[in-house]
Amino acid sequence: MSTGTEPTSAEIFDVIIIGAGIAGMYQLLKLRELGFSVKVFEAGGDVGGTWYWNRYPGCRFDSESYSYGYSFSQELLDEWQWSEHFAPQPETLRYLNLVADKFDLRSDIQFDSRVKSATFNEDNTQWAVALEDGSCTRAQFLISATGPLSAPQMPNIAGTEDYQGESFHTALWPRDPDGFGGRKDIDFTGKRIGVIGTGASGVQVIQEIAKSAQQLFVFQRHPNWCAPLKNGPISEKEQREIKASYPEIFNTCSENFGSFLHSPDSRLAVETSPDDRKALFDKLYAAPGFGIALANFRDIMVDPKANAIASEYIADRIRQRIDDPQLAEQLIPKNHGFGTRRVPLETNYYEVYNQDNVSLVDLRETPIERVTELGVATTEQEYALDMLIYATGFDPVTGSLNRIDIRGIGDQKLKDKWADGPQTYLGLQIEGFPNFLTLVGPHNGATLCNIPRCIEQNVEWVSELLVHMRSNKLAYVEAAKDAEADWTEHVAEAAARTLFPTADSWFMGVNLYAGGVPRYKAKCDEVAARDYEGFVLK
């Protein structure tokens, strides 16, 4: 069984990797160093993954920059300087380009090459990978590095194709190779602009557009709990301190639940006095980064009472920042508790709603009926717009895999196997799909993580597995059915012990492993130490 044109022998590799973002780049480097022949197919025109595609103004990460970069190369750590505590997208893309140049990664990456299908051949235990251009390549192993948030999602709204003005999805922002960070410089000055969506992307782009738009209409279905990012430049003194403390930085990350620099407070909110609670909340709200969620009382993500206390505090802070009390209530989430959806970190996000040029359109009161030639029509009125921006997110985690026709043993489609939700072993392998490894796949510890930290763990674990197989002359690895069933159940149980399932978002237990990175890593290590217990190897 094979797909498309049979490849010539020169086109057969040990490993094919799909995607040249942070995971694919490191996996390529690691396997190449270990002597495997590797080919990477990347849909984009260059390296960078998320940072290649998401070029919208305001795009940046919420991890401390120095906890985000790769840790594997001391030379790279010495060479690269982050300029801000939370680097903007152009800088991160420059960093990834430096990595690609420094380690000569591009020579094994084929760009502008979207994978259409991948089919397992039971006779030779190889994967046949076909691109959209009809070409086909084979390899013994297939590794997906497609990213958990890489399949942009348009909203389910009628008429999007009718709109006559300029329109962009944040994750498909137009590129200009000569522009700022490769971003096309789009002028918002004097324009009437609509943004649909108020997740992390929407919040970031709204902050920027509000600075110059003539009028900005924010079409909000549900508000999120946003909190201050408190970004700033890294001083020379801080730069020296960071460079000297990389081992401690990465060590702290490795010990924390989500591999961030923020460690939880050991106290319970429900057992702490109101004054002491306020003192911690005030401190965290004023501090940079994700501490407000991750360095908070350790019960806020597991105990509804503790969560309600934290939510009420953040609600009050939002009220303090919005001049119009009724508008403040529209911006305060009522359908989920603080932290149960991804907390967008912001810079003056709430203050933009005090500006005359910004209007909130609350879609719970006046839903969108359709997009029209002129703009957006709600049940109340038609908003004429010069530009419409979709900040409507992604088909998360499984989305990028489901967009490829992946077929395993007996021609079974991965999409069909996962029709009722993903089933995996360690979020890295799937029964019925031998020799296929999913970096940052569903159920993987890397999805609820300061992602490069977990990418390194995933990549190194997979690399060791391949070395083990090569050393032991093994050609086939597949998750055992019972190991997969146990892991899938464990993932659901771990989520059920948190408040994540109480919110409707991509950030749910079905997509990610909520047991914490240290436990995830320990489990992966234990499996490897026990000769890859739970895998069928032959």
Site residues for ligand NAP, window 150-169 (CB under 6 A)? 155-157
DSSP state of 332: S
Q: How far is CA 67 from the centre of its chain?
A: 16
Candidates 148-156, 272-280, 320-328, 421-429: pick the segment binding ligand NAP (CB under 6 A).
148-156
CB burial of residue 8 (10 Å; 0-12, 13-18, 19+): exposed
Decide: is 62 part of the binding site for ligand NAP (CB under 6 A): yes
- C-beta of 61 vs 82, nearer to ligand NAP: 61
DSSP letters, 153-222, are ---S-TTGGG--SEEEEGGGPPEEEEEETTE-----BT-EEEEE--SHHHHHHHHHHTTTBSEEEEEESS
CB of 428 to ligand NAP, least distance (A): 20
Phi-psi category of residue 196: left, alpha or beta, with phi > 0 → left and psi -120 to 50 → alpha: beta
Residue 12, beta-bridge partner list? 138
- C-beta of 115 vs 171, nearer to ligand NAP: 171
Choosing from 99, 200, 210, 226, the residue that interacts with ligand NAP (CB under 6 A) is 200
Q: What's the CA gap between 302 and 499, in Å, rounded?
A: 5
Site residues for ligand NAP, window 459-518 (CB under 6 A)? 506
Decide: is 197 part of the binding site for ligand NAP (CB under 6 A): yes
Candidates 136-144, 216-224, 258-266, 324-332: pick the segment binding ligand NAP (CB under 6 A).
216-224
CB of 350 to ligand NAP, least distance (A): 16
Hey, how many other C-beta atoms are within 10 angstroms of the C-beta on 323?
A: 10
Choosing from 175, 342, 370, 490, the residue that interacts with ligand NAP (CB under 6 A) is 342
Decide: is 378 part of the binding site for ligand NAP (CB under 6 A): no
CB of 396 to ligand NAP, least distance (A): 7
- C-beta of 258 vs 432, nearer to ligand NAP: 258
Terminal alpha carbon distance of the chain: 20
Sign of CA dihedral 50, 119, 436, 40: negative
Of 395, 453, 341, 392, the residue nearest 150 (C-alpha): 395
Choosing from 222, 230, 267, 523, the residue that interacts with ligand NAP (CB under 6 A) is 222
- 262-267 — which CB contacts under 8 Å span 24+ positions? 262/289, 262/290, 262/291, 262/293, 262/294, 262/295, 263/294, 263/295, 264/294, 264/295, 264/296, 264/297, 264/298, 265/295, 265/296, 265/297, 265/298, 266/298, 267/297, 267/298
Choosing from 38, 96, 196, 491, the residue that interacts with ligand NAP (CB under 6 A) is 196
Decide: is 370 part of the binding site for ligand NAP (CB under 6 A): no
Of 399, 392, 393, the residue nearest 144 (C-alpha): 399
Choosing from 296, 392, 398, 450, the residue that interacts with ligand NAP (CB under 6 A) is 392
Q: Which secondary-structure segment (H or E) carries 325?
A: helix 325-331
Candidates 183-191, 282-290, 317-325, 391-399: pick the segment binding ligand NAP (CB under 6 A).
391-399
Choosing from 221, 319, 417, 523, the residue that interacts with ligand NAP (CB under 6 A) is 221
Decide: is 36 part of the binding site for ligand NAP (CB under 6 A): no
Hey, how many other C-beta atoms are within 10 angstroms of the C-beta on 521?
A: 18
Residue 297, beta-bridge partner list? 265
Choosing from 67, 97, 204, 447, the residue that interacts with ligand NAP (CB under 6 A) is 204
Candidates 66-74, 95-103, 214-222, 513-521: pick the segment binding ligand NAP (CB under 6 A).
214-222
**Cβ partners under 8 Å of residue 250, min gap 6:** 67, 71, 453
Tokens of 269: 């909110």
Decide: is 259 part of the binding site for ligand NAP (CB under 6 A): no
Decide: is 207 part of the binding site for ligand NAP (CB under 6 A): no
- C-beta of 281 vs 507, nearer to ligand NAP: 507
Number of shown-chain residues binding ligand NAP (CB under 6 A): 25
Residue in the shown chain whose Cβ atom is closest to ligand NAP: 199
Phi-psi category of residue 182: left, alpha or beta, with phi > 0 → left and psi -120 to 50 → alpha: left
Decide: is 53 part of the binding site for ligand NAP (CB under 6 A): no
Decide: is 69 part of the binding site for ligand NAP (CB under 6 A): no
Choosing from 41, 61, 70, 95, the residue that interacts with ligand NAP (CB under 6 A) is 61
SS3 129: strand
- C-beta of 173 vs 436, nearer to ligand NAP: 173
Q: What's the CA gap between 391 and 229, in Å, rounded?
A: 19
Candidates 181-189, 372-380, 385-393, 491-499: pick the segment binding ligand NAP (CB under 6 A).
385-393
Site residues for ligand NAP, window 417-436 (CB under 6 A)? none
Binding residues for ligand NAP, per CB under 6 A?
A: 61-62, 149, 155-157, 196-202, 204, 219, 221-222, 342, 363, 368, 391-394, 506
